[in-house]
Structure 1
Amino acid sequence: MPSSSPILLIVHPGALGDGLLALPALRVLQATYPRHRLIWFGHKELGEVLVDAQEVHQSYTFDRLEFLAHRETYDFHQENFLSILRRCERAIGWLEDSGGIWRNWLKAAGIKNCILRSPHDPTLLNDHMADRYVEILQPWVQTTQVQSDLETNGDVARLLVFPKSRLARTPCSAKEPLIVLHAGSGSRYKCASPVLWASIVNGLMMAHPQRTICLVGGPADRASLRNVQGLLTHLEYTILIGMDLLSVGQYLQHAQLFIGHDSGLSHLAANLGIPSVLLFGPTDPAKWAPRGTHVAVIRKSCHCIGRASIECCKDKQCLSIPPPEVLAKAEEVLCGVKSFATDARFGCDDAFNLPCLG
């Protein structure tokens, strides 16, 4: 696409999982404005993934844009950056702007056509976050038909795909067949016990000795991984930690199965089409879970009322899932059986509106 093409600015301050939930909305923008260059301001590593998968044309960190928006004077490099912004015709910001700071700044930068609205806005009609991101586009797009087939529309619901030339960059030897497990999350309230995870690993090794088991995590998951590792003495498995998100995504493409929590990596695996078993706790999968018949969600009832109650909860009944149940669901997914969520309804999610962190 020519560098002189009009620019559509996309501002998303959320974490990895939140950004991936906005992917259908990004594709609606692609289809609606095919002549525009899409420039992403948001999660740094997700931006790199989106560029590599050709979902957007350029990416920058949200912090960089936020810094500019709150300054009154600029040096040479910042002015050069602002000159790029002045070529933007439109801007979508999935954020709260009650004080009008963002709208005023974008208009001052020459961007007159703006949508600024948080996906957590209580006046939005849809429940699932992916639908809420699309609903916010209504001033620009007729979203009624888009939302009616959001899960089946091939252009909107397609999987993330890296160009074939990139696949050779897999960061380490991926010994197939491969099962990947992510025992961490951006919030400890979403994490099942290390004992459960150790039981899952043991069960998978006994049932599938020919498969490689890999425990994966980011820098924030080191403690969770250590706790699980301490229960897995004398067992042979792979550890993958501290890699950049793009490399993790390329590695995940070799997996036959992914098991995780409500986390950004779970959303990445699901968007790559990896058959997944996800353990959900206090967050509602009807709102937060990645979609697809290749995704199976397991959760138990939550008796906590309000965020304070969740933060004080010690026994985590919502994540007290028997290991045989997880292993049975994993077998279903590995065998290609269409899986649906094991869904126990509860009412704590509205009070615990934590973003899906990665």
Structure 2
Amino acid sequence: MKQTKFQKTVVIHQGALGDLVCTLPALNALREVSATVVGIGSGRLKLLEYAGILDKSFLADALGFHRLFLPEFVPGGNLSAVFSDADLAVSWLGRKSGAYRQNLSRLAAKVSVFSGPFPPGPGDGHACAVLARPVIEAGIPVSDLFPRLSLPSSPDEEERMPAIEMPFIAVHPGSGSRCKALPLKQLFRLMDSLSGLLPERTLALIAGDAEKSLLIELVKNLPDKLKPRTRILENLELTVLARSLCRAELFVGMDSGPTHLAASLGVKTIAVFGPTSPEIWAPPQPWVRVVRSSYPCAPCTDDRRRNCPEALCLENIDLSGIISAARNLLAGGPPAGS
């Protein structure tokens, strides 16, 4: 039986999709002890509202949320209405602003603001554990550090699903930055290998705004033999993307938001890591396999990654390791780490 500790909790999160998914263990723990949970942040929170983790979400800009960072903040308006009767506010925003913390304390009976290192560095622990800290500091245990997301059945959403031949393999070749994306030469070789492994499957390429330039190059250079098997799913709404991923037989992606999302939905996932650290960022679920670069300088620091002219760690990804991981997952192999 659910034990309600808080009547109303307000969560504040403006992070990218991958960061949001890594915060799911903390958010699910809050859901378990709160009668009502509302969120303030970006439009990505609509996914959590759809999944029932939030009862309602609000865009920060629409509420004039920036006023909380002002020393002369005066409560009132829609912002105060959202916080009305809030027992607890947990924020993953504003850790460097004393004014923000003080003003937030005027709106909620108890406040916990994330103050840890972000992005986490070597020795800081996995991102899911780091992002759980403000909830733990609020006195709420976070015992399950696997991001989990369950979607409701929705006939309305089914009508909005993209037409795609079943079964299919979802591939996300990009990431938040081009320096974490799989080079096209490697991508085409991977697609060809996946086609050989599963010849009857459609290859569904996931692409969003971050992959716009990559997608242009991909379409221009896609080998003829791959064209009949390839379907591009471009700029899907987040709830539609999530429902689409649930149908995938396998997901292959880089260190990216869609990769974390697929894993949180229970999809068999292969996460490919080049310049970033899988010890910090790899989805931790047992239905995930991690393929990492063996290049000597990988993983590297954020500054080095941003200024790297060649991304040799991604050029040298072992594609045979990805195919072996795919075989293992599809054959129902043992959980990762066993």
**Which category describes the TM-score, using the shorter chain as reference length?**
0.7 to 0.9
Q: What does residue range 1-358 of structure 1 map to in structure 2 within 5 Å?
A: 6-33=7-34, 35=35, 37-45=36-44, 47-65=45-63, 66-70=65-69, 79-108=77-106, 110-120=107-117, 127-141=125-139, 143=141, 146-147=142-143, 150-151=144-145, 157=146, 159-166=148-155, 168-234=158-224, 235-236=227-228, 237-301=230-294, 302-303=296-297, 306-319=301-314, 320-338=316-334, 340=336
CA distance in 2, matches of 1:73, 1:117: 21
**Could you say what secondary structure the match of 1:213 adopts?**
strand
- Contact 1:24 1:130 (8 Å CA) reproduced: yes
Post-superposition offset of 1:7? 2.1
Deviations 1:302-342 (A, max 9, x none): 5166443323323323322132222222222222223537x
**Change over 3 Å in CA distance of 1:30–1:126 after alignment to 2:** farther
**Could you say what secondary structure the match of 1:91 adopts?**
strand
Supply the AA of the counterpart residue of 1:16: L
Aligned residues: 322
**Change over 3 Å in CA distance of 1:22–1:94 after alignment to 2:** same
Deviations 1:189-215 (A, max 9, x none): 211211111111112223322111111
Deviations 1:62-89 (A, max 9, x none): 34453342466889xx714422323212
TM-score, normalization by structure 1: 0.81
CA distance in 2, matches of 1:321, 1:114: 44
Tell me how large the CA RMSD over aligned residues is.
2.7
Deviations 1:97-146 (A, max 9, x none): 333121222233x3231011234268998501111222322333253xx4
Post-superposition offset of 1:273? 0.7
CA distance in 2, matches of 1:107, 1:308: 35
| More displaced stretch, 97-106 vs 280-289 | 97-106
TM-score, normalization by structure 2: 0.86
Post-superposition offset of 1:295? 0.6
**Change over 3 Å in CA distance of 1:239–1:306 after alignment to 2:** closer
CA distance in 1, matches of 2:102, 2:123: 27
- Contact 2:94 2:100 (8 Å CA) reproduced: no
**Could you say what secondary structure the match of 1:48 adopts?**
helix
Post-superposition offset of 1:185? 0.7
**Could you say what secondary structure the match of 1:243 adopts?**
coil
What stretches of structure 2 of length at least 5 have no aligned partner? 1-5
**Change over 3 Å in CA distance of 1:158–1:233 after alignment to 2:** closer
CA distance in 2, matches of 1:92, 1:138: 10
- Contact 1:198 1:231 (8 Å CA) reproduced: no
- Contact 1:197 1:228 (8 Å CA) reproduced: no
CA distance in 2, matches of 1:181, 1:306: 26
- Contact 1:125 1:132 (8 Å CA) reproduced: no
Post-superposition offset of 1:280? 0.8
CA distance in 1, matches of 2:97, 2:74: 22
- Contact 1:179 1:214 (8 Å CA) reproduced: yes
CA distance in 1, matches of 2:123, 2:272: 27
**Could you say what secondary structure the match of 1:164 adopts?**
coil
CA distance in 1, matches of 2:104, 2:87: 11
